[in-house]
Amino acid sequence: MADFQGVDFLHLDELLSEEELLARESVRGFVSKEFLPLIQRHVRQDGSFPMELVPRLAELGLFGANLEGYGCAGMSNIAYGLVMQELERGDSGLRSFASVQGGLVMYPIYTYGSQEQRDYWIPKLAAGAKIGCFGLTEPDFGSHVSGMRTRAVQKGSGWVINGTKRWITNGSLAQLAVIWAQTESGVRGFLVEANRSGFEARDIKGKLSLRASVTSELFLHDVELPPESLLPGVSGLRGPLSCLTQARYGIAWGVIGAAMACYDEVLHYTQERIVDGGPLAGKQLTQEKLVYMLTEITKAQLLALRVGRLKDEGRLKHVMVSMIKRNNVDVALEIARKARDLLGANGIVDDYCAMRHMVNLETVRTYEGTHDMHMLILGEHVTGMRAI
């Protein structure tokens, strides 16, 4: 298989710094040489993630890559986005693993934790010595975060938590869970170690999507926590929603990688596939699909690059992330569908990546805010009215 060259129709690489290009190329090589040879086996094993690669992910600085200090790489947000792009070129499950570790576990500790919490947890998480998960979604409440039923009540100087969280990436792999719960003073975040009495993680089986990712349900029954388990720096929904903004930003870059993988695969396939005496790529309908893919990838790149620069300048607004998450996931899914269509019957076997990316992107379209929820966020922003 030829080395992956990427897609750069408008010469956007010229807008990237040496650091950003180096970060991308390092991860591109890792994905091609070390991850992709493993993916078929793990997809066939529902809920199996290649944990043997965790030390390499840490060595490359991919956990909390855009955080400063504590053993983190301190990358720009553009470099971080390019890293997420290359990880998802491999598989959405690979990007999800790193995205949860950095954006949903390390970020809230870094931003809202005490100095003691930061000093203890972030270096371990950055090194991959500890794995974390993020407990927000519940069986009955996904997008309607404010309806959560998990509750923490004070007991002496500490806390007792009861509740259930569902659709939790890395849930049974994690030694630490960031759990969001209702309290008398609003929603608060807690650092819950998985070995606490009353804490249990059960994997969700039978997934048709994100098969190379561990997804779990967390059960908390009278879990007692010391006072230092509370994240002291935030209360209310601002805490978990700000974490989701970080993760959604990474997703908007990541899905460009999935789209690139599908486009690259089907471009080479149609150039070599002979139909009616000539290459499939020479047919009008094929070219229409390929041009659509190239155009939408380029537009997604432009959106992500601009928002990334604004993030590096401290001018990011969450509605901008809603736009790029919503748009980029949607077009990546459509690109995967068109690629699978061009592959014909070959598109349904796992020797090719298009259908794997396609079913993964169905999940990515739903999690971290559904396609329609981001439409409503943007709609309220532009009209000043909350839709009913």
Active site residues: 368
Find out whether 228 and 60 touch, Cβ atoms under 8 Å: no
208-241 residues labelled b (16+ CB within 10 A) or e (exposed): ebbbbbbbbbbbbeebebeeebbbeebbeeebbe
* Total residues found in the chain within this entry: 388
Question: Contact at 8 Å (CB) between 187 and 239?
Answer: yes
Tell me if 38 sits within 8 A of 50, measured CB to CB. yes
- Cα 193 to chain centroid distance, Å, stands at 22
Rounded alpha-carbon distances, angstroms, from residue 104 to 96, 162, 169: 10, 21, 10
Sequence-distant (6+) residues with CB within 8 A of 6 are: 28, 260
Contact in structure between 114 and 232 (CB atoms under 8 Å) = yes
- Helix, strand, coil share (%) of the chain residues, nearest 5: 55, 15, 30
Burial of 11 (0-12, 13-18, 19+ CB in 10 A): exposed
